[in-house]
Amino acid sequence: MQNSPTPAEDLVVLGKIVSVYGIRGEVKIYSYTDPLDNLLDYRHWTLKRDGEIRQAELVSGRLHNKVLTAKIKGLDDREEARGYAGFLICVPRSQLPALQDDEYYWYQLQGLRVINQGGQWLGMVDHLLETGANDVLVVKPCAGSLDDRERLLPYTKQCVQRVDLAAGEMQVDWDADF
């Protein structure tokens, strides 16, 4: 495993190694992709943890309930695999499939200014949460926002009226008092 020349800003996190699996150096992975096993479509990973960067090649993998297990090339020992826990699994943005016009990757929504129909700036999208019913936007206050409240907005067509990536804005149907 060697250091990566890929700039960090060009990488997208698709999962995280959480622990070991079995005795032959396989790892358990929490996947952020939908469906979960889409992560296995990428054979070359950049692993990141606390400033450390490694390159890894996926040999094989499979889905067990909501957890993936994977075999990484050159990783054959359970104790060595244990040292991989906590690494984020990243791939270059250029490898992600193109989306339809009304679809977005989560990383594209993070940092957008959230403005309601009354023109009030509610804050910026900090991150998203996956729930059973629908995804949720976590909107945090920032300089220039209406107030200092954190808001949780449903990522639904009824709430999110328009996304303008070029302008860095998201128009929502959301009352500032909610």
Chain segment 112-133, per-residue pLDDT in tens: 999 999 999 999 999 988 887 8
Could you tell me which of 130, 127, 121 has the C-alpha nearest to residue 167?
A: 121
CA separation for the pair 3, 54 (Å, rounded): 5
Residue spans of the domains in the chain: they are 8-95, 106-172
Residue 106 in this model has a pLDDT that exceeds 90: no
pTM exceeds 0.85 for this model: no
Chain segment 63-81, per-residue pLDDT in tens: 987 789 999 999 999 999 9
Pick the CATH number of 106-172 from 2.40.50.100, 2.30.30.240, 3.40.50.300, 2.40.160.20: 2.30.30.240
Pairing of strands 52-64, 121-129: unpaired
- Cβ atoms of residues 107 and 125 within 8 Å: no
Work out the average pLDDT over 136-145: 94
Task: Return the structure tokens found at 4.
Answer: 């990566």
CA separation for the pair 82, 8 (Å, rounded): 24
